[in-house]
Chain A
Amino acid sequence: MGAGRLYAAVAASGFRRYATYRVATAAGVFTNTVFGLILAYTYIALWDERPGLGGYDQAQAVTYVWIGQGLLSVVAVMGGGFEDEMIERIRTGDIAIDLYRPVDLQAWWLAADAGRAAFQLVGRGVLPMALGGLVFRLALPTDVGTWLAFLVAVLLGVLVSFALRYLVALSAFWFMDGAGVQQLAVLAAIFFSGLTLPLNAFPGALGELARALPWSALMQTPADVLLGERTGSGLLRTYAVQAAWAVALLAVGRLVQSAATRRVVVQGG
């Protein structure tokens, strides 16, 4: 009971923390919109050439772009969430203080990251899509049910994203400098989340692989749900895959964490 209140408070302050930087948020929305415009035109050219590519029609492909730009910061494809701070705390040794606090380390950072994601869904998710809708005809659903189903998929996507970035942050226990691992993780996320090209437009075996990897839960899956590609039992199967990745990766995170904390040597002096 008390613990629930604590994590809710952490999440709320995560939300407030990101809500403080209004100019930065507006600048982010602007950038998402510009990239959305560029990508949308290239997708239109691509779907002109090959209608129905990946099972999308052209309007769906353009909508996919704006869903992607809206979710980009929510599921932190480019990183930049809690992990920078956690890596810094591991590097400086401050993590030792976190470890003797009477809270769970993973749950603490998850709560903080959930607050961040909630703000970015409101602050950076809605506007780019609205602006995109002014320029292009979007294939957005009109029924509330699909939007709710989408929000559930986004929530699961945030969980998977957190679990992946938590592993990246923990790698700093071994490498000290997290920059290399972080960079590789961001590259994998950009490519395999479907940010550059929808995963169902990937050819052959690469497509199969990309759709099976956990990063597909970040962007491709929520987009498919909103575009009405997953309904009924298909929707439940989709959730099950996302949830399975979230649970498995969070569990690996806990294992790695216990291995890592056994390695902690707090600097003296």
Chain B
Amino acid sequence: MADLRNLRGLRDLRDLRGLRDLKERRDADSGFAPAGRSRLVDGLRAYRLIAWMWIRSTMAYRASFAMTVFGNFAGSALDFVAILLMFSRVDELGGYSLGQVAFLYGLSSAAFGLTDLALGSVDRLGQRVRDGTLDTLLVRPAPVLAQVAADRFALRRLGRITQGLLVLGYALFVVDISWTPLKVLLMPVMVVSGAAIFAAVFVAGAAFQFVAQDASQVTNSFTYGGTTLLQYPPTVFAKDLVRGVTFVLPLAFVNWLPALYVLGLPYPLDLPEWVAFLPPLVATACCALAGIAWRAGLRSYRSTGS
């Protein structure tokens, strides 16, 4: 049954080839891609088809799917349980109350969860480079990044997003925030920009794996490590570390700076107030850089040849 479903997905993918305009394909192949937009539309379409195929294949084993969603939820919830245990012994951590930490935690987890759902599979790239299966993706008429990202699309990762949103809901319930229209607007902007910043880290990490195939763990330090870091108040960490995640790898723009604006708490490093509104710009710049890194990585790819 699962095989049949997979086959249907594959057929959809084959249709993709027919649907593409021949001339455009020739242009793309000869390096004269007509417009960025058509490649984007192409990529999204390929992503949707492949992801949908994996969803249907997962749904063939519903009990196993339910178990893994729960596992994903619980795995991410353990981090918060650790924070709850800490707060069972203290009233403040780094000058922040439990509700305020939960606010940071929820925003970081929600943004990271979105990216993990959409792009979490790109860290399997090193494996594909090693065993040579990346070649299969290169000959298909769809952008490689879309194929790699949608590969083994794991709907179970909804568990992490759900957990993050629940903690965020709890935080909004207990923390006293003097809401303004600007702060309300900043909330969704923050989550989407944060997800985009994490996406740039995931893609840059995948590009790095073209060079260092066995080093997918290094990416984990910045993705999973990054979201763990952002779950705690910036006051906890050494100044140099905070400088690093503000000016070098700008993770501070995922939640710290905008969230502190919403909470009305002082910023780290005496930054001016307007930095809270930079996340969309930072995210755009990060994604552009990650895109360049990805292209450079893909160009440097040499097949295993065996």
Binding site for B on A (CB under 8 A): 21, 23-24, 26-28, 30-31, 34-35, 37-38, 41-42, 44-46, 49-50, 53, 177, 179-180, 183-184, 186-187, 190-191, 196-197, 201-203, 206
How far is A53 from B88 in the complex, measured between Cα atoms in Å?
Answer: 12
| Chain B residues positioned under 8 Å from A183 (CB to CB) | 67-68, 71, 75
Any chain A CB within 8 A of the CB of B85? yes
Give B208 Cβ to nearest chain A Cβ, in Å: 10
Q: Shortest 6 CB-CB distances between A and B: which pairs?
A: A27-B217, A34-B221, A183-B71, A23-B214, A196-B82, A27-B215
How far is A23 from B218 in the complex, measured between Cα atoms in Å?
Answer: 10
CB contact between B232 and one of A42, A180, A186 (< 8 Å): that residue: A42
> Which residues of chain B from 80 to 113 have a CB within 8 Å of any chain A CB?
81-82, 85-86, 88-94
Q: Are A180 and B71 in contact, with the CB atoms below 8 A?
A: yes
| Chain A residues positioned under 8 Å from B213 (CB to CB) | 23
Q: Given A27-B218, A35-B221, A180-B64, answer yes or no on A187-B75 (Cβ-Cβ < 8 Å).
A: yes
Q: Which residue of A lies closest to B79 (CB)?
A: A196
Any chain A CB within 8 A of the CB of B144? no
Give B261 Cβ to nearest chain A Cβ, in Å: 22
Give A13 Cβ to nearest chain B Cβ, in Å: 20
| Chain B residues positioned under 8 Å from A191 (CB to CB) | 78, 81
Q: Are B215 and A46 in contact, with the CB atoms below 8 A?
A: no
Q: Given A38-B229, A184-B71, answer yes or no on A27-B214 (Cβ-Cβ < 8 Å).
A: yes
Q: Are B228 and A45 in contact, with the CB atoms below 8 A?
A: no
Q: Which residue of A lies closest to B91 (CB)?
A: A49
Q: Are B215 and A26 in contact, with the CB atoms below 8 A?
A: yes
Number of B interface residues at 8 Å Cβ cutoff, please give it: 39
Q: Which residue of A lies closest to B212 (CB)?
A: A23
Q: Are B216 and A45 in contact, with the CB atoms below 8 A?
A: no
> Which residues of chain B from 221 to 255 have a CB within 8 Å of any chain A CB?
221-222, 225, 228-229, 232, 235-238, 241
For chain A, what secondary structure do more than half of its interface residues adopt (helix, strand, loop), or is it mixed? Answer: helix
Any chain A CB within 8 A of the CB of B175? no
Any chain A CB within 8 A of the CB of B220? yes
For chain B, what secondary structure do more than half of its interface residues adopt (helix, strand, loop), or is it mixed? Answer: helix
Any chain A CB within 8 A of the CB of B298? no
Q: Are B220 and A46 in contact, with the CB atoms below 8 A?
A: no
Q: Are B78 and A24 in contact, with the CB atoms below 8 A?
A: no
Give A81 Cβ to nearest chain B Cβ, in Å: 16
Q: Are B64 and A179 in contact, with the CB atoms below 8 A?
A: yes
Any chain A CB within 8 A of the CB of B189? no
Q: Which residue of A lies closest to B94 (CB)?
A: A45
| Chain B residues positioned under 8 Å from A21 (CB to CB) | 214
Q: Are B214 and A31 in contact, with the CB atoms below 8 A?
A: no
Q: Are A187 and B74 in contact, with the CB atoms below 8 A?
A: yes
Q: Which residue of A lies closest to B217 (CB)?
A: A27
How far is A222 from B4 in the complex, measured between Cα atoms in Å?
Answer: 51
| Chain A residues positioned under 8 Å from B75 (CB to CB) | 183, 186-187
Q: Are B68 and A35 in contact, with the CB atoms below 8 A?
A: no
| Chain B residues positioned under 8 Å from A184 (CB to CB) | 71
Q: Are A34 and B225 in contact, with the CB atoms below 8 A?
A: yes
How far is A259 from B228 in the complex, measured between Cα atoms in Å?
Answer: 42
Q: Are B217 and A203 in contact, with the CB atoms below 8 A?
A: no
| Chain B residues positioned under 8 Å from A42 (CB to CB) | 86, 93, 232, 236
Q: Which residue of A lies closest to B75 (CB)?
A: A187
How far is A45 from B93 in the complex, measured between Cα atoms in Å?
Answer: 6
Q: Are B85 and A28 in contact, with the CB atoms below 8 A?
A: no
| Chain B residues positioned under 8 Å from A38 (CB to CB) | 225, 228-229, 232, 237
How far is A46 from B228 in the complex, measured between Cα atoms in Å?
Answer: 16
Taking A41-B232, A177-B64 as given, write out 9 further A-B residue pairs in contact, using a Cβ cutoff of 8 Å, ordered by the A residue number. Answer: A26-B215, A27-B212, A35-B225, A35-B228, A41-B237, A45-B236, A179-B68, A196-B81, A201-B89
Q: Are A27 and B74 in contact, with the CB atoms below 8 A?
A: no
CB contact between B93 and one of A34, A46, A197, A201 (< 8 Å): that residue: A46
Q: Are B232 and A23 in contact, with the CB atoms below 8 A?
A: no
Q: Which residue of B lies closest to A191 (CB)?
A: B78
| Chain B residues positioned under 8 Å from A35 (CB to CB) | 221, 225, 228
| Chain B residues positioned under 8 Å from A202 (CB to CB) | 85
| Chain A residues positioned under 8 Å from B74 (CB to CB) | 187
| Chain A residues positioned under 8 Å from B217 (CB to CB) | 24, 27-28, 30-31
Q: Are A187 and B93 in contact, with the CB atoms below 8 A?
A: no
Q: Are B78 and A41 in contact, with the CB atoms below 8 A?
A: no
Would you list 21 pairs from A and B whose C-beta atoms are within 8 A, ordered by A residue? A23-B215, A24-B215, A27-B212, A27-B218, A31-B220, A35-B225, A37-B241, A41-B238, A42-B236, A46-B89, A49-B93, A50-B89, A53-B89, A177-B61, A179-B64, A180-B68, A187-B71, A187-B75, A191-B78, A201-B85, A201-B86
